[in-house]
Structure formats: structure tokens, C-alpha cells
């Protein structure tokens, strides 16, 4: 979103141009903030589960009805509000079959069903076809979604959808499918938009989604991305060799249909890596900077990013998702017939989706994109693919011990609470050790889960790769801005990232 | 909703007619369930935070891809899914002022602003007017909402709105205002509907809301109803001397704007009673029967009631709201300048709204309607009104100790967890005593809060009122169906309610 625009590599002319374009959205000439005396200048406060509103609240107590601070430059002002928006969720074994009735209830005439070639052959898609046929809903299936989508694979999908002109979308698959469907919906509703218009700044222009999109129903077949609840769509921008995406809460699906029968088809390795994605979604959103530390304050609510920092509602989702993942992921990976564990993992994935969808992720995700993209040749066991692959969940979890060791001092209480969720007795742990204790708990959890690399070295990375990994991380401004303790000054940030990657070589 | 139709007083012919009409919605001639082999017959399971999916999950483990149980009569089948739907929420001190930009972002042309005569003079409405004027949004203000609305006051409001033909609604006030605005929106979008069409069965026809309504933004000025997040609107049906309402998730506001600056205007007595409403929302939704014990299973997802029973997502909201209310309500009542406590209470109210909006309430609310409606003459201190009044929150809380003593055996673990939220050391409490322990904790909490009646006697009720109170409770089928331990057989239910009211005379 626009907020990310302040973080830009000065050496790259192209980015500067993009930045200027972005500024048009975040700082319109007639800034509505200056006509808004009700915008408070909040006193900064450390995130704390105890007095999360206290500082702001006390700054208000003394003020009369109109005793508000003078507005300042909004780019300097901190945020004072948070939003919680999530797709409606339906959850239950067998609910996939209700989707035909849902689309008929919506009065929909032409549905674009989006899936990938593998899921297209699975029971989930068979159920979907039967449900649509049974209700006489007209649809066409686009089964060409690429796993880990690229900008060009998404453009192909959009070109496919435009002439069909569907009045609803139905995504059946993992995060790649749901994200692709979101973008098919977006660019079908904005037929004249340039593809980069909505892409996150600084790589794209970060234009907000200000139209109502078509209904999108998402049926996840993995317990991982939580994409069925979020307004985020991630892809590789091939020309820049960078992961980026589009993020706006108006992009979120209308309804997520979470059917534990659909996740039974995941191979064990996929269950493990998608579960690790859930783990990091919950840990990162729980430890992200608090919403009221984020700058700039948006001048219009439509500019408030979905990745807004930790807040009292996202906290509830994130911490619950963390506890559930710690409890059920090992069982789910160990036993493909443990339906209780798989059901709870699907729920955890959705809860974590609401959590990070309204708070954001930070370093594990920011660092994961170059890790996956610059893969020196690692092929993760259990993935039946022809080329090297570091699955998304593996690439986020591999740096997690290093990341939370680094972020620990920013908010020891939260890191201790997270360590407690892993079963650590924190009664005698010093607050200074909070990051280390959580890092150790994570290392042990990953080792016990099995088949996980114990650091970047086991993926084939070594010290000489680190500079490129750092440069690949820097553009992830949208998530890095939420990383507690990360410097705003570029050279300092680069040093910190370098040390983080070094620490992540082995754990 | 339709599910309530099975509970009807056989002695009343009119209700039977309504029941038959309702059945048209719940059991259409071509029942889609019979063509749906994926509907499982779930094994009943006690609600439990530990193995909430276990029984169902294990019943699936052995089944092959298509090894589903034979469909039965859906009226006999238990629910197998739950839904979570909530309005988007924006929360922060001063956010009221963003509403003009929100409406402009939506492209809205004519806004119907709904409020009551008191709130119309408060700062909240001044902020709203300034925000709309500042953005050049055309609007008209309907300030005629009646507190504790009646069917006729709502009909008047609808008649006012129809000729104006707004393309959005903006409610500024407490639950009465927000609920009235929901119904203005509903009946403006269904101009040919009879008023009773959408009213909850068995009093009304319980027709589901199957059209998309106009956007509704709700700005609560009390920390109580949580109506900004729910699809429920409650009113008095004057001709029947009964509280009823309309409930469907499509009725929920588009956005709730929760601004702690707006709740500063509540007098202490209003803060207390609306906070007690939050307390009971959270306790009742936390202890409601689990979703998978509810019958009948809906034959179409649009018939799945918003009040669906406790489920894993509502539980998270309800328990968090309970803990926050116990912590902050006493502070909020004691000190009008404790902005932290008031901010947390507004958040608790919203969290509880999401909780009960997706799970439901039961006995405290079901019994409260005749308590308020059959008021023998009690005038609650601190309410500046000309006539006797038992505020809604007082009428729900007064029976709470009796209610949870009664429901305790249905799920001792949940009642113990609730008692723990009140600070009770439950380590040595026997499960058989769970209800008593929670009842005692509630009694103490109410006494410490101050100015609360210690039972129905202090409201002027005595034993001779009980039969009428019971008869006034029986029609609250929609909430009574969620009461754990309440008999389905009418005479037994009547006896249980009689004993509950007796127990509630004094605590």
C-alpha cells in the first residue's frame, strides 16, 4: 500500500518514478486530513497486551470535546485506528456441496471456476461440478493456474476470463489458485487498468481497489495460506525477479468454504510446509509492530493498508491460531487419517488468515521470497515436481528462529507468550532472553516435525549468497515496514538483514 | 429462523398458521438435501474445547471418498457446519469523522442518517454532519427512533425512508437506532413485503433475506448491543406484547465505526446496564448448545440461522469479550474519565457482538423480554425517563445467576472456564458445582458493580407473576432452542422456566 512508498532504493530510477506515482494516491493535493480536526496525534506506546489503548486513552482524557491536537503532516503522524475485515467463513465436512445453492442464492448467471490441473482431477472439483450442475448454474472451468504464479501466468488467466465476462468467481485450490482468482476478478472489473496499477508499491503503483468486485467464493484445498479470508494476492514479478502482489481488503473473497474433506488429499510434505506457513502467519502477525506505531496515518480510510500492524482483534486470531498449530500440526503431518488434527489445522489456517490478513506478516515472509526465488537447486522431499523447489512454508520457517531471536527485544512479553504456546515454562525466563527462548522452541519444533532444513545451508545457500538475498528482501517494503526493530535507514537495514541471513544459515 | 418453527404453542391457532408458512421456507417441496450425498450424519458430541470436532472427524476417518451416510429427513438431522460472518469493524478514537469519506468512496448519492432525539444533539451526530457536509454527501436525518422500538415505531421509520429512496443508511446511536436502521434498509429493499414476512418464527414467517441490501454503516454510541456487527434487529410486537425481531446475516451492517469518543456521553447507569448486556452476550454465546447439536440441518445455506449455537470461532470472541468485560466494566462504571476502560468496553461489546451474532444467546435474553415488558413499575436509578423502565441490560443480568446454575451441568468445563474469567480459583472445584460457582461469581460481580437489583423481587415481581413471565418467555423460540438442558417437550420446558424464574426472585 501507499505506506510502503517511503522505503525505496534511491539508486534505482525506476522505483523513484513508481514512488512518485504512488504519492499521488497517498498524498492528494487537497489532503482531507487537514480539514479533519478529529484526527488525534497519538502518544507512541509500546505494544502491550495489558495497556494497548492506555497511552492514547490517557492523552484523550484531559482533552475537551474539541481539544484535539493540531493536525500535522500526515506522513509524520502515526495511525490511530485499525480495521478488521474478513470474508465470511463456512466450515464443516461436506460444505463444498453447498456452493451451487450459494451461487444460485446470489442470483449468479455465469461463474468462472478457477483451479489448477492437479486439483481439477480431485474430489473437491468433482463435488463442485456436481453442486453447480445440480443447481443449473452455468460455469466454465479455468484449470490453468500455475503453482507459485508469475505475472504472466496471471495475465493469461485474466485474458481467459475477460471475454467470458463472468458475474462471479469460484476458486478451488490452494493459495496460488485463490490468489489468481482474486486478480482475475480485479482486472476483469477494471478492464482499462494497467497490470502494475494495483501492484504493491514500490514495485507497482499501489492503487487502492475502490470499486466493488464480483462475488468470489474460495474453497481452499490446503491448510496453509488462509487466502480464503484475506485481501492479498501474491505472485512473482518475473522481470524484477521479485515476489510482490496486490493487497487491499476489497480484494477479499465474499465467502470462504472450508471443508476438511478437501484437505485430505494433501501429501504429508505439503501438509507440513503449508502448516509451517500457518505457524509463521500467526507468529509474525502476533509480533508485528502495533497498528498505532505505523506511519503514515492514511488520509482516507480506503488507503489504510490491510497489513496495518498488530491490533487487539488480530491478536486474538493470531494467538489462537498459533496455539492450535503447535498442537495439531505434528499430529496432522504424522497421521494422514487423523481427521481431527487436519480439521483443526484447516481452522487454524483460517484463523491465522484473519489474523495476518488484518495485521500483516514481516521478516519471515519478506526474507522467504528471495529464498524461494534464488533457490540454488534444492528439491524438497515429497514434492513431485521436475525442477528444484523450496516450498513457500519451508522458505518462511527456515529463517524463523533467527527472526524471532532478532525481534525478541522489541516486545519480550509477546515473545514469551509465543514461547509458552510451544509449551515452554516461562516462569523463570528473563525478559532479555525472550527472543532466544522462542528461537529455541521453534528450532526444536521444526526438528521434531521432521524433514525440515535446519537452516539455509541445507538448502544449498552459503555466505556468498547473502548479499543477493538481502537485495531481494529490501523491496518487500510492505512487510518489512511491520518488522519490529528493523531500521528505517537503508544501510542499517541492510546490515540487519545480512546478520539475519547469517544467523539463519544454521539453527 | 426456520429452525425455531418446531417449537410452537399448540394451543394457538394463529401460530400454527405461521408455522405452516414458515415450513415453506425450511422444507421446500424439492428438498435439495436429498440430492446431496455429501451431507453427513454427524455423531452427536458434547461441546468441548478439547475435542470439538473429534466425534465428527472420527466418523469420517473410516469412510471412503463417497462413503457418506444415507441422507435422512433433514428435520431430524443435526447441523454439520457453522458460519462466521461479521461486519467490517473500524476502531479508534475519532474515526467517526472518516464516515464522509467512506460514503464517498462507496459512490453513494443519498444517505438516510438514522438516530434518536437524544443522540441527535450529541457530539457524535455533530461529527457525522460535519463529515458528510465536508465530503459533499447528500443526506437527510431521521431522528425519530424510539428507544426500545415497537413495530409501529419501526413502520413509521420505514414509511419515512421509502419516498426518500436512499442508496445507503447510516445509523448513529445505540442498539435501538441500529436495529431500526437495519429494518428501514430491509423493508426499503423489499417494498412489497408484509412486515411480518421477515419477523422471526413462530410469531412471524421467518423469511430469509435473499437480496443484497443497501450499504449500512453503524456508529454505536453505547458499549452494549454489539448490533454494529450482527444481523439481528429486536423490537416489541405490540399486538402480541412480545419482543421479537428479524435475524439474518444478510441484515448485518457493511461497516461498524467504533469510536470510543462517542461512548463518553453515556451516563454511569447506562454504562453499567449496557455493559451487563455485553456480559450476558458473552456468557450466553459461550454456553449455548454447540452448533452441531442444533436441528434441523438447513436444506439450503441461506436458511442456516445466525444464531447457530456455539462454535470454534464464536467461542474465541465470546471468551475474550467475557474476560475483558469482567476486567473493565467495573472501572468504566466507577470512573467516567477512565478512557482506557471505556475503550476496552467498546471493544468488548464489539467482540461479544461477533460472538453472539454467530452463536446466539439463550435463557437470560429469552427471559429478559417478558421481564422488561411486564415491568410492575420499577424505575431504574440513573435513567431520566418519565415512565417505569427496566433497562435491557438489567433485565438480562437479573436472571443470570439462576440461568447459569441451571445450565452448569450441560457443560461443566465451560462454566468453570467462565468462573475462572471472574477470578475464581477453580483448581479445587468439582465439576458438579460448576454452575453454582459461576452463579456465585455473577452474584458477587453484580453486587460489587452497585445499583443492580439482587433478583426479580427488587424489580417488584413476586411469585404470582411467574406464570405470566413463563408464558412471555415461551415464544422466544429462536433463543430458547439454544439453551442447554432445556426440555423440548412444552410442559417440561414450562416447569423448568418456572423454576428458573423462582430461583431468580432473589440472589
Q: Does A320 touch chain B (CB under 8 A)?
A: yes
pLDDT in tens, A114-131: 999 999 999 999 999 999
Query: What's the mean per-residue pLDDT of chain A?
Result: 87
- Compute the radius of gyration of chain A from its Cα atoms: 22
Top-confidence residue, B411 or A42: B411
Among A244, A263, A282, residue at a domain's last position: A263
Q: Does B31 touch chain A (CB under 8 A)?
A: no
pLDDT score of B23:
30
Q: Determine the 3-state secondary structure of B403 from DSSP.
A: helix
A48-62, A251-265, B140-154, B322-336: range with lowest mean pLDDT: A48-62
Residue A19 located in a structural domain: no
pLDDT at residue B49 greater than cutoff 50: no
Indicate whether A259 and A272 sit together in one domain: no
pLDDT in tens, B451-490: 999 999 999 999 999 999 999 999 888 899 999 999 999 9
Residue A462 located in a structural domain: yes
Indicate whether B335 and B229 sit together in one domain: no
Of B81, B302, B317, which has the smallest distance from its Cβ to A92's Cβ? Answer: B81
Alpha-carbon span B108 to A182, nearest angstrom: 25
Indicate whether B301 and B379 sit together in one domain: yes
pLDDT score of B478:
86
- Compute the radius of gyration of chain B from its Cα atoms: 22
Average pLDDT of the segment spanning A421-438: 97
Query: Does A495 sit behind a cis peptide bond, omega within 30 degrees of 0 on the bond before it?
Result: no
Query: Does A296 sit behind a cis peptide bond, omega within 30 degrees of 0 on the bond before it?
Result: yes
pLDDT band for position A74 (cuts 50, 70, 90)? low
Query: Does A202 sit behind a cis peptide bond, omega within 30 degrees of 0 on the bond before it?
Result: yes
pLDDT at residue A147 greater than cutoff 60: yes
pLDDT at residue B222 greater than cutoff 60: yes
pLDDT score of A13:
38
pLDDT score of B355:
96
Of B38, B86, B94, which has the smallest distance from its Cβ to A94's Cβ? Answer: B38
Q: Does A467 touch chain B (CB under 8 A)?
A: no
pLDDT score of A52:
67
pLDDT in tens, B251-273: 999 999 999 999 998 999 999 99
Percent of all residues in chain B with a pLDDT value above 90, rounded to a whole number? 77
Q: Give the E-state strand segments of B221-264 in sequence order.
A: 232-237, 242-247, 255-258
Indicate whether A340 and A378 sit together in one domain: yes
Specify the CATH number for the domain of residue A459: 1.20.1090.10
Task: Note the residue count of chain A.
Answer: 507
Indicate whether B479 and B420 sit together in one domain: yes
Average pLDDT of the segment spanning B230-237: 93
Task: Sort out which chain A residues have CB atoms less than 8 A from B327's CB and list them.
Answer: none
A127-136, A278-287, A480-489, B199-208: range with lowest mean pLDDT: B199-208
Task: Sort out which chain A residues have CB atoms less than 8 A from B61's CB and list them.
Answer: 337-339
pLDDT score of B52:
67
Residue A423 located in a structural domain: yes
Q: Does B250 touch chain A (CB under 8 A)?
A: no
Task: Sort out which chain B residues have CB atoms less than 8 A from A81's CB and list them.
Answer: 90-95, 98
Counting Cα atoms < 13 Å in the Cβ hemisphere of A12 gives 13
Q: Do residues B430 and B471 touch, judged by C-beta distance below 8 A?
A: no
pLDDT band for position B319 (cuts 50, 70, 90)? very high
CB contact under 8 A, A91 and B81: yes
DSSP characters for B448-466? HH-S--SSGGGGT--GGGH
Top-confidence residue, B447 or B241: B447
C-alpha cell recorded at residue B114: 438514522
Alpha-carbon span B367 to B365, nearest angstrom: 5
If phi > 0 it is left, if psi is from -120 to 50 it is alpha, else beta; for residue B432 that is: alpha
pLDDT score of A27:
31
Specify the CATH number for the domain of residue B261: 3.40.50.1970
Top-confidence residue, B54 or B19: B54
Indicate whether A397 and A251 sit together in one domain: no
Residue B421 located in a structural domain: yes
pLDDT score of B477:
87
pLDDT score of A386:
82
pLDDT score of B82:
96
Q: Does A28 touch chain B (CB under 8 A)?
A: no
pLDDT band for position B147 (cuts 50, 70, 90)? confident
Average pLDDT of the segment spanning A376-404: 93
pLDDT band for position B191 (cuts 50, 70, 90)? very high
Domain encompassing residue A200: 88-263
Residue B309 located in a structural domain: yes
Indicate whether B258 and B286 sit together in one domain: no
Nearest in space to A286 (alpha carbons), one of A320, A259, A251, A260 = A320
pLDDT in tens, B364-391: 999 999 999 899 999 999 987 788 999 9
Alpha carbon B487 to its chain's center = 22
Size of interface A-B (CB pairs under 8 A): 173
Nearest in space to B142 (alpha carbons), one of B124, B120, B123 = B120
Structural domain count of chain B: 2
DSSP characters for A122-182? SHHHHHHHHHHHHTT-EEEEE--PPSS-BHHHHHHHHHHHHHH--SEEEEEESHHHHHHHH
Alpha-carbon span A33 to A298, nearest angstrom: 8
Indicate whether A139 and A272 sit together in one domain: no
pLDDT band for position B73 (cuts 50, 70, 90)? low
pLDDT at residue A381 greater than cutoff 80: yes
Q: Does A228 touch chain B (CB under 8 A)?
A: no
Q: What is the ipTM of this complex?
A: 0.85
SS (H, E, C) A201-224: CCCCCCCCCCCCCCCEEEEECCCC
Handedness of CA B114, B120, B123, B125 (dihedral sign): positive
C-alpha cell recorded at residue A186: 480485479
Å between B269 CA and nearest CA of chain A = 20
pTM of the entire structure? 0.87
Indicate whether A478 and A340 sit together in one domain: yes
Task: Note the residue count of chain B.
Answer: 507
Residue A80 located in a structural domain: no
pLDDT band for position B223 (cuts 50, 70, 90)? very high
Residue A335 located in a structural domain: yes
pLDDT at residue B16 greater than cutoff 60: no
Alpha-carbon span A251 to A213, nearest angstrom: 7
Among A221, A241, A263, residue at a domain's last position: A263
Among B246, B265, B284, residue at a domain's last position: B265
Of B36, B302, B339, which has the smallest distance from its Cβ to A60's Cβ? Answer: B339
pLDDT score of B72:
56
Residue B294 located in a structural domain: yes
Amino acid at each position: 500500500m501507499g505506506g510502503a512508498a517511503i522505503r525505496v532504493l534511491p539508486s534505482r530510477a525506476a522505483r523513484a518514478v513508481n514512488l512518485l506515482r504512488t504519492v499521488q494516491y497517498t498524498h492528494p493535493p487537497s489532503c482531507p486530513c487537514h480539514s479533519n480536526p478529529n484526527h488525534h496525534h497519538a502518544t507512541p506506546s509500546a505494544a502491550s497486551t495489558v495497556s494497548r489503548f492506555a497511552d492514547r486513552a490517557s492523552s484523550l482524557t484531559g482533552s475537551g470535546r474539541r481539544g484535539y491536537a493540531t493536525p500535522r503532516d500526515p506522513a509524520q503522524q502515526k495511525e490511530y485506528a485499525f480495521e478488521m475485515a474478513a470474508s465470511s467463513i463456512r466450515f464443516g465436512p461436506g460444505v463444498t456441496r453447498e456452493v451451487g445453492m450459494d451461487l444460485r442464492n446470489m442470483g449468479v448467471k455465469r461463474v468462472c471456476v478457477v483451479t489448477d490441473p492437479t486439483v481439477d482431477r480431485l474430489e473437491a472439483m468433482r463435488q463442485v461440478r456436481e453442486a453447480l450442475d445440480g443447481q443449473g448454474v452455468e460455469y466454465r472451468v479455468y484449470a490453468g493456474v500455475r503453482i507459485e504464479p508469475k505475472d504472466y501466468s496471471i495475465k493469461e488467466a485474466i485474458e481467459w476470463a475477460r471475454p467470458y465476462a463472468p458475474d462471479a468467481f469460484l476458486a478451488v485450490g490452494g493459495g496460488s489458485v485463490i490468489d489468481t482468482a482474486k486478480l482475475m476478478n480485479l482486472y476483469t472489473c477494471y478492464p482499462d487498468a494497467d497490470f502494475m496499477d494495483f501492484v504493491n508499491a514500490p514495485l507497482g503503483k499501489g492503487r487502492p481497489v475502490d470499486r466493488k468486485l464480483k462475488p468470489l467464493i474460495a474453497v481452499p484445498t490446503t491448510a496453509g495460506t488462509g487466502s480464503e479470508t484475506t485481501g492479498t494476492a501474491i505472485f512473482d514479478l518475473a522481470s524484477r525477479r521479485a515476489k510482490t502482489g496486490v493487497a487491499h481488503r476489497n480484494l477479499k473473497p465474499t465467502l470462504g468454504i472450508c471443508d476438511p474433506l478437501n484437505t485430505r488429499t494433501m501429501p504429508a510434505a505439503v501438509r507440513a510446509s503449508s502448516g509451517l506457513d500457518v505457524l509463521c502467519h500467526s507468529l509474525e502477525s502476533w509480533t508485528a509492530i502495533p497498528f498505532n506505531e505505523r506511519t503514515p496515518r492514511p488520509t482516507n480510510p480506503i488507503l489504510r493498508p490491510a497489513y496495518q500492524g498488530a491490533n487487539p482483534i488480530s491478536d486474538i486470531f493470531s494467538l489462537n491460531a498459533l496455539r492450535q498449530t503447535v498442537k495439531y500440526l505434528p499430529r496432522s503431518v504424522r497421521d494422514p487419517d487423523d481427521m481431527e488434527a487436519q480439521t483443526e489445522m484447516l481452522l487454524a489456517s483460517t484463523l491465522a488468515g484473519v489474523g495476518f490478513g488484518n495485521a500483516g506478516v514481516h521478516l519471515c515472509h519478506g526474507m522467504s521470497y528471495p529464498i524461494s526465488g534464488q533457490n540454488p537447486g534444492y528439491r524438497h522431499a515429497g514434492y513431485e515436481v521436475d525442477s528444484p523447489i523450496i516450498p513457500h512454508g519451508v522458505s518462511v520457517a527456515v529463517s524463523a528462529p533467527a527472526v524471532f531471536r532478532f525481534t525478541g527485544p522489541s516486545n519480550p512479553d509477546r515473545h514469551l507468550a509465543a514461547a509458552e504456546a510451544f509449551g515452554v515454562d516461562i516462569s523463570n525466563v528473563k525478559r532479555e532472553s525472550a527472543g532466544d527462548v522462542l528461537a529455541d522452541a521453534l528450532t526444536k519444533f521444526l526438528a521434531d516435525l521432521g524433514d525440515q532444513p535446519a537452516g539455509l545451508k541445507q538448502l544449498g545457500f552459503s555466505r556468498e549468497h547473502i548479499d543477493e538475498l538481502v537485495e531481494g528482501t529490501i523491496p518487500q517494503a510492505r512487510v518489512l515496514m511491520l518488522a519490529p526493530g528493523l531500521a528505517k535507514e537503508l544501510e542499517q537495514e541492510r546490515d540487519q538483514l545480512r546478520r539475519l541471513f547469517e544467523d539463519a544459515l544454521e539453527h
